[in-house]
Chains A and B, each alone.
Chain A
């Protein structure tokens, strides 16, 4: 809502020294957020004066006709002699009163006026158009002022209103009343404690008879309708300068007097009006719901199919307007309309909001109706409009008019007098609430400790006690609210929350940089991952309105986002890149239904909540890493070490280690990993083995699809499952007896996984074993084709004695025996 300050001042006795900036600041704190304060004409300097065209010499030697004028500017030019001015416009005659910029003047946009030779003549200034003065957009010629507007030679800047402060207010959805000068003026008056003069306070005589026939089909669509007509309107009458200027300053383009008047009254009072060409209306004007299949061509020349939820204004020949949104072309006020019927109505806000959205038509009218228009304003607004048409367009106001009033009276809201204080924490003096509520227009009846408050017709937003409290608090001022530190009784972070932080720190310490990728993905990514057609990760949720049509899906894995971030870094010149991400993925539940919308006037039942939750996808928290280049760099200490599949598994182990969970590693062939270099990772939850993710080197085709460097490795883990596998740590008993160390080298078939051998050794070694660690893997002639030697260090220790060599050897032999039995391992000779 753009508010020219001079317009506002017509209705508020605002002290003259109040600046636009001060007003903007106060309004903003009180809930009318002033986004900008424009100072129109601030770059404008005189002399800009009234002039009278004395004589016009037509110059015809040029491509277009040019006029050389003698213009009386009084003594404004210092000489009293007529000013000689070249002018290209042709819409004026000798004797016209015009606006002249004299040499030295500067017009909006830094346009400086001087004396200069042009078209072979000396031109000493400019006869101005509305556009050049910044008044409004008009390219039909110069401004011709009505006789008596001003005296020749006098300054025109002030009277023309070339300088104006305009506040641009971002009106919140609850404050529909502020989409009018009237509403802003009322709040301004309250904020400054000065008088407010209601522009809607126009005297309205009782109807002198029946107006245009009209009907409301359903009061729930429209509860007030006023039709007031004028006759003998001069369709050629020009709108007055002040009206066009204000419309322009308010961001509305001046069109024609009839249209300008409806817009002007709407801006001033907040009531959208429709001007009908009565000659084109047939029969009774009816407000009703659109009929199925009904069509209407709206003013923007779009043929629209109406919905039965739309409210229409219809006449005998059918729908003529989508009520509150846009009129139809058939009854548009044309250049010849002399019989004008002004319609002012109060429509159901929700219906207008839906219609506006359905037809993707947001108009000045719909913006107001959907935020709530004063339900008692229509007669005043229509009367104000017809009176302006009469005054400015030579029309005669008809004494007879139509007024259908189906408005239900508002019930009072009962609220504790101390409620505002209880909300704000400020102990307001007695009577404070009553005072402010009455200031904004409420009727207040004190009833013991309670107030019975009937909000005014222009405040449909005031429905609850807290709405009333807000009115009191915002005028008393939020700055008065004290600051008291709240004190909860929380128990700190959950173990899961601590784990997530610890995992992030551990991965950062291990060399990984965290990224936060967008969750949007597409078929191309899923194809790049080499997923089979029936892979569960292809069953992604789809957005109805994606930003990018190539990425309409929600991620089912973190990997594509990591891959893209990796590629971006490589593209920016980094060869060694290690990234991690922690975040949710979205896995729709098979057969999930539509999430219901239970009513909100009560708490939903357990069944309703269960239905909502069943409709939601599973959203497990994942952690993923991707690495390319060297895991350890080359340098003065020696060579580097390229990241391999083992680093990916190590990252997974690092996460599990932070959680205190054992990770079981097993070979797997799972997209998007290299089928020979892919590990499936498991945890134990209450004895059950649970898959938590995969790690290893990526499939070469995936590497290529995402443009990553060869041999890039990655892992992805389900952090929620890791968390579920956590068990309380039981402290070990730390033995102070000496350790007995035994090394064994076992020869096995090279297909036997080391993990299996180690597990067998641990199991066979019994209670005395402290650790089993692989320290060497050897393949070569000495162990034979297809076999390898794996060497482990076994450390034994007892809690109550020093182990003898025999005991340690026996334990070792037992370990080897189990390994031999399980894996065919033989002690290396």
Chain B
């Protein structure tokens, strides 16, 4: 560290000489410009901009000058140091940008490398389709009702107006549950989701707007189109002033939501003990829209060139069912439907064989993900 130099004229103090200051500045700027990377620039900064740099040392000499000379010398040295600082900053930015560009290129990876370390699973499409179907109705203000799968015969048949010896009772191939003594238990595997109608009416306040998705059971051997265990979505509305027009509206909403807008629906008169009148419901084929009917050159696999696809059964709740469920049929009326969930999945996603829905093969399920 230099001692104050009081005995010299400022101009005579060599480091503060304008030429000297200019030389130091030029030298520094040249070094900065010559630095080719950040490490070199760091060296340059130490050499030309640190406390020990020539300009910094020159700056210290200013204090020893007579007051009259301080201002000029200060201005000269300060200007040079600012220029050097600015040049350093700019060079730093340039070199950092160059480095970043280089490093980010060097750090490039192969983004096509697979990452299946912890593979995702999937929900069963019957589950998700059932949820989608139910949600169509939840959106219209329906609630989801539930009931047991092992059901009392009374709920599965009697309360639904299946009389003990009516042929309709044998139409459905029922799994009967044995009693503890090997005799009759009065229990069956429910053959449809319709017993939930009666349970909903017995347990809920009127009006009732419910859907009930669930498992149902019949003694059919598994083949491409049958399964002893299958799924239905039951719908039930009981309110004042309810007509078949509201039933058609509900069915239309379902078809539009699952298969697209503008598809016609039709009712075919049919028979179920628990609805009167009863109908089978068809929707227009969403693939050919009827164009395949009578056109052997363009057959439709989806509807077998029928133009219509059967989606379920429905009807006006038989007042006898209302009576058994404690509802006054003079005041209330309603309707119910049962839609096949397997059928809906088969049509909506082109599933061809019931085995695929039953066997639990992960290739089948994985294709659908958690939602579909």
Contact = CB atoms under 8 A, between A and B. Distances in A.
Nearest to B366: A513
B279 interface: yes
A410 interface: no
Contacts of A485: 140, 246, 249-250, 252-253
A824 B175 CA distance: 58
Interface string A778-805: 0000000000000000000000000000
Nearest to A562: B360
B180 A598 contact: no
Contact of A481 (B123, B152, B159, B248): B248
B159 A519 contact: no
A466 B243 contact: no
Contact of A466 (B114, B123, B316, B366): B316
Interface stretch (A265-273, A610-618, A665-673): A610-618
Nearest to B365: A513
Contact of A488 (B170, B209, B359): B209
A626 to B, nearest CB: 11
Interface stretch (A25-33, A145-153, A751-759, A761-769): A25-33
Contacts of B246: 425, 484-486
Interface stretch (A64-72, A155-163, A568-576): A568-576
A423 B269 CA distance: 14
Interface stretch (A130-138, A579-587, A727-735): A579-587
Given A597-B154, A603-B202, A612-B152, A173 B166 contact: yes
Nearest to A539: B180
B333 interface: yes
B150 A554 contact: yes
B276 interface: yes
Given A173-B166, A513-B122, A515-B124, A598 B362 contact: no
B271 interface: yes
B243 A425 contact: yes
A243 B279 CA distance: 36
A478 B268 contact: yes
B143 interface: yes
A486 B249 CA distance: 7
A315 interface: no
Contact of B268 (A29, A504, A544, A619): A29
A372 B293 CA distance: 37
Contacts of B362: 513, 569, 574, 577, 579
Contacts of B164: 350
Contact of B187 (A29, A583, A615): A615
Contact of A31 (B249, B250, B270, B324): B270
B358 to A, nearest CB: 7
Interface residues of B, number: 103
Contacts of A602: 323-324
Interface in B254-313: 266-271, 276-280
B360 A487 contact: no
Contact of A594 (B141, B163, B171, B185): B185
B350 interface: no
Given A353-B166, A635-B117, A616 B152 contact: yes
B277 to A, nearest CB: 3
A92 interface: no
A467 B276 contact: yes
Contacts of B158: 597-598, 600
A174 interface: yes
A478 B154 contact: no
Contact of B144 (A494, A572, A601): A494
Given A479-B266, A541-B178, A466 B318 contact: yes
A497 B228 contact: no
B151, B153, B180, B269 — most chain A CB neighbours (10 Å): B269
A490 B120 CA distance: 34
A579 B366 CA distance: 11
B219 interface: yes
B83 interface: no
Contact of A482 (B115, B176, B245, B277): B245
A565 B360 CA distance: 6
A514 B165 contact: no
A511 B366 contact: no
A195 interface: no
B67 interface: no
B354 to A, nearest CB: 12
A609 B202 contact: yes
Given A504-B127, A514-B124, A633 B116 contact: yes
Interface stretch (A202-210, A245-253, A393-401, A469-477): A469-477
B76 interface: no
Interface string B141-161: 111100011111111001101
B138 to A, nearest CB: 6
A637 B271 CA distance: 63
Contacts of A33: 268, 270, 280
A542 interface: yes
A105 B248 CA distance: 52
Between A423, A509, A544, A574, the greatest number of chain B beta carbons within 10 A of the residue's beta carbon is seen for A544
Most buried by B among A172, A478, A513, A616: A513
Contacts of A637: 115, 117
B370 interface: yes
A547 B155 CA distance: 23
A586 B150 contact: yes
A339 to B, nearest CB: 36
Given A470-B276, A631-B118, A579 B229 contact: no
Contacts of A604: 154, 324
A600 B324 contact: yes
Interface string B177-216: 1111001111101000000000000100001011000010
A474 B268 CA distance: 8
B131 interface: yes
B237 interface: yes
A636 B120 contact: no
B88 interface: no
A432 B127 CA distance: 46
A435 interface: no
Contacts of B324: 600-604
B186 A371 contact: no
Interface string B311-335: 0000010111001111000000100
Contacts of A469: 277, 316
A167 to B, nearest CB: 15
A488 B141 CA distance: 4
B237 to A, nearest CB: 6
Contacts of A353: 165-167
Interface in B329-364: 333, 357-362
A543 interface: yes
Given A370-B167, A486-B140, A488-B207, A632 B127 contact: no
Contacts of A568: 359-361
A574 B215 CA distance: 29
Nearest to A544: B176
B159 to A, nearest CB: 6
Given A489-B141, A597-B153, A615-B185, A173 B248 contact: no
Contacts of A617: 150, 187
Given A370-B167, A513-B362, 4 more contacts: A33-B268, A173-B167, A492-B143, A631-B118
Interface of A: 28-31, 33, 172-175, 350-351, 353-354, 357, 370-371, 422-426, 464-467, 469-470, 473-474, 478-479, 481-494, 497, 501, 504-505, 507-520, 541-547, 554, 565, 568-569, 572, 574, 576-580, 582-584, 586, 588, 592, 594-598, 600-604, 609, 612, 615-617, 619, 631-633, 635-637
17 contacts: A423-B316, A464-B319, A466-B318, A478-B244, A479-B266, A481-B248, A483-B252, A484-B246, A485-B252, A486-B250, A488-B142, A516-B127, A516-B360, A541-B177, A544-B178, A602-B323, A632-B118
Nearest 5 pairs between A and B by C-beta? A488-B209, A488-B141, A425-B243, A595-B186, A31-B269
